[in-house]
Amino acid sequence: MTTTRLAVAGLTPLSTCDWPGQLVATVFLQGCPLACTYCHNPSLIDARVPGSVEWASVLDLLARRRGLLDGVVFSGGEPTRQLALRAAMLEVRELGYGVGLHTAGVYPSRLEQVLPLVDWVGLDIKCVPRLYPAQTGVNAWGKAFASLRLVQRAGVAMQVRTTVDPTVQTPDDVLELTSLLATLGVDEHVLQQVRPDGTTAAYQEALHAGQPL
C-alpha cells in the first residue's frame, strides 16, 4: 500500500504536547471505528470521507523543517485503520525523523505491523473493560488489551492515557482502571480532563448536568 492512499484530515506543523519532550508535526488521519461520547473531532470518524491534506505537502514540510522538528506523530481518528500508514512511517523515518503514534489499540494486528517503525506510543485505554460499550460504542477492551501487551512486549516507549468522562465513569471506575493498569505493568498512566469543545450538544448538556448521556 502506497502513501498516495493515505487519507490525511489535518496537519499541525508544530506541536510541543503531542509527544512529551519532543517537537513534532502531527498528522491527523481520517476514520475511526469508535464513537466515544466525548469525541471532540467527530468529523474525523467517517472512514468514507477522503483526506483534505496531500501527503506530499506533509513531506514538503518535513523537508523544510529538518533540524527544527524531532519527529512526526500520527494521530486521528484511528491511524492504524489505514493500511498506508506503514509506508508513510517508512518515508518519515527515511527523512531522519522519529515516529510517534496515537492509537486506541483497536487494530492490534495492524499495530503489530507498524510497531517496528514506532519510537513512542500514546495508547488510549478508554475505561475499565465493562464500560467500553458505553464509552466508545464498541466492546473494544479485548483489542485495546491485546495492543497494550504488544507494545509492552515490543519494548516501545508508551504513555497510556485515559480521558475521564464523568457522564460514563465514576471516580471509583477511574480508580479501578488505574489499579488494573498498574497490575498490568503500566508505569505511565495519564488522566486527561474531558474537553467539551467540538462535542455534540447532547454531550455538552449531559456534561453540564452531570448526568449519563
Element (H, E) at 8: strand 8-15
Closer to ligand SF4 by CB, 69 or 73: give it: 73
Q: Does 78 bind ligand SF4 (CB under 6 A)?
A: yes
Residue 179 Ramachandran class (φ > 0 left, ψ -120 to 50 alpha, else beta) = alpha
**Cell 477522503 -> residue:** 50
Options 9, 44, 127, 144; binder of ligand SF4; rule CB under 6 A: 44
Closer to ligand SF4 by CB, 92 or 104: give it: 104
Query: Least distance in Å: CB of 147 to ligand SF4?
Result: 13
Closer to ligand SF4 by CB, 79 or 91: give it: 79
Residue 170 per-residue DSSP state: -
Q: Does 168 bind ligand SF4 (CB under 6 A)?
A: no
Residue 5 per-residue DSSP state: G
Closer to ligand SF4 by CB, 8 or 104: give it: 104
State which of positions 83-142 bind ligand SF4 (CB under 6 A): 104
Query: Least distance in Å: CB of 195 to ligand SF4?
Result: 10
Q: Does 18 bind ligand SF4 (CB under 6 A)?
A: no
Options 6, 27, 45, 99; binder of ligand SF4; rule CB under 6 A: 45
Three-state DSSP at 67 gives coil
**Cell 509506508 -> residue:** 87
Name the grid cell of 81. Answer: 485503520
Residue 51 per-residue DSSP state: P
Query: Least distance in Å: CB of 90 to ligand SF4?
Result: 24
Options 10, 71, 76, 108; binder of ligand SF4; rule CB under 6 A: 76
* Contact indicator for 104, 163 with CB cutoff of 8 Å: no
Only segment of 28-36, 91-99, 180-188, 189-197 that touches ligand SF4 (CB under 6 A):
28-36
Q: How many CB atoms lie within 10 A of CB 56?
A: 10
> Which residues, 6 or more positions from 103, have their beta carbon under 8 angstroms from its beta carbon?
76, 78, 79, 80, 111, 121, 122, 123, 124, 147
Query: Least distance in Å: CB of 103 to ligand SF4?
Result: 9
Interacting residue ranges for ligand SF4, rule: CB under 6 A: 32, 34-36, 39, 41, 44-45, 76-78, 104
